[in-house]
């Protein structure tokens, strides 16, 4: 699966706000591989205000190098975003 970074790397020349079809054309001009183009084409056909909106909308793996076991362990840790000193509260 393609990552967020892969998609955004091929959209570095994009001018936002941009419609999905414009983003696909920009990625094609940048020489994006088929996986990146497929992820962009799968997004809803709306206007995107910035690269963050594209990353959230594209069906990509945020961290493709993460193993399924590591993802499951992270999901079990209900305090994953709480500072250590606040975990006992």
Beta-bridge partner residues of 3: 61
Instruction: Name the 3-class secondary structure at 50.
Output: coil
**Residues in the chain, how many?**
89
The DSSP code sequence of 16-30 is SSEEHHHHHHHHHHT
Q: What is the pLDDT of residue 55?
A: 86
For residue 8, pLDDT over 60 is answered with: yes
pLDDT in the model for residue 78: 55
Q: What is the pLDDT of residues 31-53, one digit of tens each?
A: 999 999 999 999 999 999 999 89
Higher-scoring residue by pLDDT: 71, 10:
10
Residue numbers of the domain that contains 73: 4-86
Q: How many domains does the chain have?
A: 1
Q: State the pLDDT confidence band at 63, using cuts at 50, 70 and 90.
A: low
Average pLDDT, the chain: 82
More confident residue, 61 or 29: 29
What's the angle, vertex CA 1, arms to CA 32 and CA 70, rounded to 5? Answer: 140
DSSP 80: T
**Can you give the pLDDT at residue 60?**
73
Provide the pLDDT for residue 64.
Answer: 59
């Amino acid at each position: 699966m393609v990552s967020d970074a892969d998609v955004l790397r091929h959209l570095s020349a994009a001018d936002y706000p941009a419609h999905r079809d414009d983003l696909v054309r920009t990625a094609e001009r940048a020489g994006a591989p088929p996986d990146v183009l497929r992820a962009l084409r799968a997004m809803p056909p709306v206007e995107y205000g910035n690269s963050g909106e594209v990353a959230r909308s594209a069906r990509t793996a945020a961290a493709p190098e993460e193993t399924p076991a590591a993802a499951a362990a992270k999901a079990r840790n209900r305090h994953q975003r709480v500072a250590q000193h606040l975990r006992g509260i």
